[in-house]
Structure 1
Amino acid sequence: MIRATVTTVVAAALCALLSCWLVLIGWSLMGDAVSHAVLPGVVLAYVVGAPFALGALIFGLIAVTLIGAVRSTSRVKEDAAIGIVFTTLFALGLVLISVTPSQTDLNHILFGNLLGVGDEDVLQVLVLAVLAGAILLVKRRDLTLFAFDPTHAHAIGLSPRRLSALLLGLLALTSVVALQAVGVVLVVAMLIIPGATAYLLTDRFGRMLLISPIIAVACSVIGIVASFWLDASSGAMVVLTQGIVYALVHLFAPRRGLISTASARRRRTRATAAATAGVGTATQPLR
């Protein structure tokens, strides 16, 4: 449980940081693509006895390269290129799982196996997370400018293409980290939900970078404890907790929640009606 908690908290915090940029740029589908495309790399790494992270990282970068190649050399748009590449690589991974003789259940790659995380896995997650987190924090200003205004970034001497490649590389690295916690299928949720939740709570990107990891870490601890008492899947409970928190924020956020906006709309309607009635009364002719 201690190893599972440490792994999940670290992975969730890193995913939450990256999710802030993914939500702003609109790369949710790209996160889905990279997280699923690493599956064949993990299986091949198992076959040759290499670390899972190495195989996943290689295939994450291959997926990003293929998406760019399909988009630039054909008429299909970016979303179609993403769909073609990630579904094909994900299917390749499923085929490799089905034909690979194994003493272990490789389906854990798909759905995670938090309670089976060993000391080496925890160390691997910590090293990769520190590396990716440090790069994000050092380049946060450039990446933020790229997310808000790529044209201005280019005008002041930054390369949007290089920043895009850096962000995609970090996405592949972060997917490898989260893979240890929740598996391939649920990685995309950890890459999107915390950032989307924080986006509803603040207009400042600096605050968003604080709120998103706090939400992710809190949901990780709550999800793992809940999975212990309910005897449920740990990774799935973590993601489910994040989804519930997003639903609550979507409803009750002070400025952008559905209930808050509905109440504000009703108040404006009443104020308009009262003002109209007052004007009408004031312009009544004297009898």
Structure 2
Amino acid sequence: MEPLHHVFMVKALLISTVVGGVCALLSCFMTLKGWALMGDAVSHAVLPGVVIAYALGLPLAVGAFVFGVGSVAVIGLVKQNTRVKEDTVIGLVFTGFFALGLILVSKVRSSLDLMHILFGNVLGIRPQDFQQTLVISALVLVVLLVFRRDLVLFCFDPTHARSIGISTGFLYYLLLSSLSLAAVAGLQTVGIILVVAMLVTPGATAYLLTDSFGTMTVLAVTSGIFSSLLGAYLSYWSDASPAGCIVVVQTLLFVMAMVFAPKHGLLQRAFNNQPPQ
């Protein structure tokens, strides 16, 4: 119970739990849509926006959101006007934006710590960033819950969604906007580089354990919250990076699901392939 006697640890545990749960819920939609690379692109593309917002005295979330959505627009523009495939375009855009961010960090004189942007600083989160992250997480949660049914249909079968009058274009940008906001929220906990793990791993873990989307969301959110709490707690006793501990715990949960999942696990597949006795 010693970590709970420190205010900074209580805040770290709280913000890690909130962000871990919200990102895990969003990761279910990302997994169904097959947008793991898109999550990687958006999380890296926000770096120049963060630096520019800091230089202009604006909230970091504003710059990160603008560049996150902007990167998606650039991906769509390049994809529609060239022969290059989408995965290649995503790789080109997010590395270009990320490199631009590194240049800006080296040129803009500030107290902005690059390591905190890249790998998070949940133990030293400022009060205004704490409140901002809570508000952003709540906003993403509300959007996902309000549009849950439409988003599920959009991820499963966009053609059918379009045929019954649902605006798939609106849902496309709504989901990408939620992804950008989630990347901003994860910026304070695990940083730009590792936030993609929070947006992919919980959903992938739950996907191996069930064929029901409702159950998948429950399992993903549970694993996201559990890994965030355990990772932050272990980081205190091991004096290690909280972001690294959180992501390692998430990865271990995925490995366990991959091996021991009752229907899609490696052990079950090996057992099913055995000849009858």
Counterpart residue number, 1:270: 276
Contact 1:199 1:208 in 2 (8 A): yes
The 5 A counterparts of 1:1-287 are 1-266=9-274, 269-270=275-276
TM-score scaled by structure 2? 0.95
The ranges of structure 1 where at least 4 consecutive aligned residues each deviate by more than 6 angstroms after the TM superposition are none
Counterpart residue number, 2:5: none
CA distance in 1, matches of 2:113, 2:139: 29
SS in 1 for 2:113: coil
The number of residues matched between the two structures is: 269
Amino acid at match of 1:148: F
SS in 2 for 1:181: coil
Uncovered stretches (5+) of structure 1, i.e. residues with no partner: 272-287
Question: After alignment, is 209-218 or 116-125 more displaced?
Answer: 116-125
Amino acid at match of 1:7: I
CA distance in 2, matches of 1:63, 1:248: 34
CA offsets per residue over residues 148-170 of structure 1, 9 Å max, x none? 11111011101222211111111
SS in 2 for 1:21: helix
Amino acid at match of 2:206: A
CA distance in 1, matches of 2:130, 2:111: 22
Amino acid at match of 1:162: F
Amino acid at match of 2:56: V
TM-score scaled by structure 1? 0.92
CA offsets per residue over residues 232-264 of structure 1, 9 Å max, x none? 000110011000110111111111111121112
Amino acid at match of 2:29: W
CA distance in 2, matches of 1:103, 1:53: 17
Contact 1:17 1:213 in 2 (8 A): yes
Contact 1:3 1:119 in 2 (8 A): no
Uncovered stretches (5+) of structure 2, i.e. residues with no partner: 1-8
* Structure (1 or 2) with the larger CA radius of gyration: 1
Amino acid at match of 1:45: A
SS in 1 for 2:142: helix
Amino acid at match of 1:12: G
CA offsets per residue over residues 17-37 of structure 1, 9 Å max, x none? 110011011000000000000
Amino acid at match of 2:276: R
